[in-house]
Structure 1
């Protein structure tokens, strides 16, 4: 998705990523890395007594895993610029397969041959349910010929 120079993006253009299945190992490794051992993510018995009836993936794990589904082109993408309006709208369970649906909603030229692309990001699972929605921003270069 983020493989083109600034002036090549059109408002409304969209992209669909490949999928990635969230595993129990993902939850364990994310807990170890982040220090977030909240029982809703790590304790099967505790989670069985919640409204979800089972363990759910950390919201930040889902966001992090989704980052790996983007396509970034070195020399085009300068940096991740920010994220706004993040909402975790449905649970992601062990065994769910997530994918990204991304739509360009803004394209702003900045200075020094760069600009910011703004996109609506929806992370969805195999059921079609949206599990995370956010507005993301990436700083990208303009074409060297522009």
Structure 2
């Protein structure tokens, strides 16, 4: 794994990175349901879903969040750590066979409580194969200064 030190001073508001894609499968639905205990028919009952507005099974929002954020984990920055996520929204449904990727934009920088650190906000959008945002959130980081 590649380790790159990116300090608070190195982040620039507006910088963007785009991940590779990942196609969502029926296996993803089943495994996520098993991990979480969320066996609601919206995710697993194809016959019931056929009678509903989307006419097909809908991915768990928490699964799309997990996969979308996992796609962004391409390198480790030893100078930063995650403080969590804010403003999480499930914007559009994701279906079996959809391919998603994530786009991360540095949206904000600010001072932290400790003077040797700063805060960085990464706005994350998970996007489907049609170019539609299906999930959005803000990733909050605490980052060491040089």
Equivalent residues in 2 for 1:1-16, closer than 5 Å: 3=4, 4-16=6-18
Q: Which of 31, 43, 49 matches 1:41? A: 43
Root mean square deviation, CA, Å:
1.7
**Whole-angstrom distance in 2 between the partners of 1:109 and 1:39:** 45
- The equivalent residue for 2:87 is 85
**What is the TM-score normalised by the length of structure 2?**
0.89
**What is the TM-score normalised by the length of structure 1?**
0.89
Unaligned runs of 5+ residues in structure 1 are none
Asked if structure 2 preserves the Cα contact closer than 8 Å seen for 1:83 and 1:136, the reply is yes
- The equivalent residue for 1:20 is 22
- The equivalent residue for 2:117 is 114
Q: Deviations over 1:51-104 (max 9, x none)?
A: 1110011000000001211134141232x2122222111111011111111111
Unaligned runs of 5+ residues in structure 2 are none
